Chains A and B, each alone.
Chain A
Amino acid sequence: EVQLVQSGGGLIQPGGSLRLSCAASGFTFSIYDMNWVRQAPGKGLEWVSYISSSSTMMYYADSVKGRFTISRDNAKKSLYLQMDNLRAEDTAVYYCARSLGGSDYWGQGTLVTVSS
Chain B
Amino acid sequence: DIQMTQSPSSLSASVGGRVTITCRASQSITTYLNWYQQKPGKAPKLLIYAASTLQSGVPSRFSGSGSGTDFTLTISSLQPEDFATYYCQQSYSTLFTFGPGTKVDL
Chain A residues within 8 Å of B, Cβ to Cβ: 35, 37, 44-47, 50, 59, 61-62, 95, 97, 101-104, 106-109
Contacts and interface: CB of A to CB of B under 8 A. Distances in A.
B98 A45 contact: yes
B98 A44 contact: yes
13 contacts: A35-B96, A37-B44, A44-B99, A45-B87, A50-B94, A59-B95, A97-B43, A101-B34, A101-B91, A102-B36, A102-B55, A103-B36, A108-B43
B62 interface: no
B55 A45 contact: no
Ranked 7 nearest A-B pairs via Cβ = A102-B34, A101-B49, A106-B43, A102-B49, A47-B96, A59-B94, A102-B46
A46 B1 CA distance: 14
Contacts of A45: 36, 38, 44, 87, 89, 98, 101
Contact of A47 (B35, B43, B97): B97
A81 to B, nearest CB: 15
Contacts of B36: 45, 102-103
Contacts of A44: 85, 87, 98-101
Given A45-B38, A106-B44, 10 more contacts: A37-B98, A44-B100, A45-B89, A47-B89, A47-B95, A50-B94, A95-B44, A101-B53, A102-B36, A106-B43
Contacts of A101: 34, 46, 49-50, 53, 91
A95 B36 CA distance: 14
A107 B45 CA distance: 11
Contacts of A103: 34, 36, 44, 46
Contacts of A46: 98
